[in-house]
Each structure stands twice: as C-alpha cells, then as structure tokens.
C-alpha cells in the first residue's frame, strides 16, 4: 500500500500523525490521521478505510479529508492496486 502521505498528497514540509486505527478480522481496517503545517498548526483531519472480502482481500479503499471546521473538503474511493 502506498504511504498515507502520498495518498493524501501531504506537502513535504507538513507532518501527518496517526491518531488511531481499528482492526477488523485482526487487520487494520480504519485509520484517523491529523495533518500539521511546518509551524505545528492543525491543517486537516483524515479518515480512511479498507474494506476486505471474506478471504481478506481488499475490495475497496477510501478516504475523507476534513478541514479545521470538520467540513468535508475532499474524498476518494478507489479499487485497490
């Protein structure tokens, strides 16, 4: 899987911190990240998910980006590579 920084197109001078992830079937299934700019100020929050079939194969990936006011500003749902 590509890095979250690449998937979310995080500028190199920003940092992305994982807040939590949850498991489904003993595998990570959902993630929450927070993006900060170079001065440490909050930029955005991201939620992502991987949906797997009964065999454990990813069948759908998706993420959402929320701004400082928790407004959805971007999202993407894609088939896994």
Q: How many CB atoms are closer than 10 A to CB 51? A: 14
Distance, CA of 11 to CA of 13 (rounded, Å): 6
Q: What is the mean pLDDT of residues 19-43?
A: 83
Domain count, the chain: 1
4 φ, ψ (degrees, to nearest 5): -60, -35
Q: How many CB atoms are closer than 10 A to CB 14? A: 15
Distance, CA of 46 to CA of 67 (rounded, Å): 9
The pTM score is 0.75
Quote the Cα angle for 20-25-27, to 5°.
Answer: 45
72 has a pLDDT exceeding 70: yes
* 6-15, 29-38, 58-67, range with the lowest pLDDT: 58-67
Which structural domain range is residue 59 located in? Answer: 4-78
């Amino acid at each position: 899987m590509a890095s979250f920084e690449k998937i979310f197109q995080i500028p190199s001078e920003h940092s992305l911190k994982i807040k939590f992830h949850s498991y489904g079937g003993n595998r990570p299934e959902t993630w929450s990240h927070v993006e900060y700019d170079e001065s440490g100020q909050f930029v955005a929050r991201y939620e992502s998910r991987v949906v797997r079939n009964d065999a454990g194969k990813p069948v759908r990936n998706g993420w959402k980006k929320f701004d400082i006011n928790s407004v959805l500003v971007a999202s993407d749902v894609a088939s896994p590579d």
